[in-house]
A and B are shown apart, each in its own frame.
Chain A
């Protein structure tokens, strides 16, 4: 009896504030304007989402998120290896120093690049010191990409580092004893064994990157840059919640598909991933 009662408040809470809201945006997305001006059931919001301008937003979001993920992986994998191989005496401190920036407010981390890349920013200051012409770094796609890599790099490094640390070292020794050179050992043993870490890293970078609107708003400034901006604009500026809901649902589906792919490739359980981060 008490067993059943104890989860009662929780069940009520998630029904009210998790399930109902999600069902509501589903319902909103399926309501379109009828010719008379009322709301009727239709797929018009979804078909509108596939108009060329919105398709280009979707494609741009995917492209920039994939680029950010790839750069994070290329930068992060060597870093994770170095951390894993480091002398244990320094390792705890190094990992801690690596995590500290991540614990700083996300907005501040993004804002800091505004002061560096801005028109009167540090980079332009350096350029003028060297007698070079001023350049615009801010408000470009490159700035957004940089912001994503900067914010999400630790999400790539930490899971890979964890997997590398847990790896059974005797497998590597066995491979070396059996005559594998460094390259072979890495590509045939270490890398395949670290795949679960890579997959967690990839989804932990890709998902926030594809749904962000903060980084693009601060470092790009334009209106419809990424899917996130599109949703935010529809809700807070244009006030077309039906279309905004439809785009939100497309974003949810995108995330679901990504997760399904990651699970298929052999990534660990997504729930564990969320907790492992902490």
Chain B
């Protein structure tokens, strides 16, 4: 009994710790003052000025644009890569998988500066293009790692059988292999998309020319102090995530049944 109460108390404490900052931001996003110390009355002004803030809106556009392009490109390159890697032998496969894990294991800051070094050395101007290339680069390994296990689960002779029965390689891929690995592709694409949306460090080093994503916008605004628009933005983002998770949760529950 005592442990039960203790468990409940601890759970409340930890969840309080996790949610208190988010709640504070949400409450003060409606505060009729720049201060986060005192409640001055209710207002929706910050939401209005958020949507009128062209810097934030442009960053939102770039965030989505980069995430969509990076996710699609990384998924295509990564899926075909997994196909090739699966049929490789011995040391070759191991060596490539080791290289594949470099961007996953390396600290973001090292990936960020090394790509930046490359772009500058090649005289490519930092901007949208370099940011997209960087995002594709750090997304591909996750796609490979989520598609590869699906190949391993597939009966080994499937491709040979299809080819023997007269399918062209493309038809064999589309009709035989693709349905088997589809869940892995979807997982990979989702991981790539969320990683890209969330990235700060690598984008920070590999962008320029006025192109910035939401993370960079938040960072540069936060460095100059507290901005109520950010509170409004964070409340909206939290609600988006919460709703998405609730939908996902509902759907997985239905599938479980």
List A residues at the B interface (Cβ < 8 Å).
Answer: 2-11, 13-14, 17-22, 24-25, 28, 75, 78-79, 82, 85, 92-94, 96-101, 103-116, 118, 120-122, 124-125, 128, 150, 153, 207-208, 210-211, 213-214, 217-218, 228, 231-232, 235-236, 241, 244-245, 248, 251-252, 255, 259, 270-271, 274-275, 278
Measured CA separation A157–B105 after assembly (Å) = 20
Measured CA separation A89–B116 after assembly (Å) = 49
Q: Is the CB of B77 within 8 A of A9?
A: yes
Q: Is the CB of A96 within 8 A of B245?
A: yes
Q: Is the CB of B19 within 8 A of A124?
A: no
Q: Is the CB of A118 within 8 A of B226?
A: yes
Residues of B within 8 A of A112 (CB): 21-22, 24-25, 234
The SS class assigned to the B binding surface is helix
Q: Is the CB of B104 within 8 A of A271?
A: yes
Measured CA separation A110–B230 after assembly (Å) = 12
Q: Is the CB of A213 within 8 A of B121?
A: no
Q: How many residues of B contact A (CB 8 A)?
A: 86
Q: Is the CB of B100 within 8 A of A13?
A: no
Q: Is the CB of A113 within 8 A of B118?
A: no
5 contacts between A and B (CB under 8 A): A10-B78, A24-B121, A75-B14, A120-B35, A244-B113
The SS class assigned to the A binding surface is helix
Measured CA separation A120–B249 after assembly (Å) = 38
Residues of B within 8 A of A248 (CB): 109-110, 113-114
Q: How far is the CB of B58 from chain A (nearest CB, A)?
A: 17
Q: Is the CB of B219 within 8 A of A107?
A: yes
- Asked if B91 CB lies within 8 Å of chain A CBs, one says no
Q: How far is the CB of B83 from chain A (nearest CB, A)?
A: 5
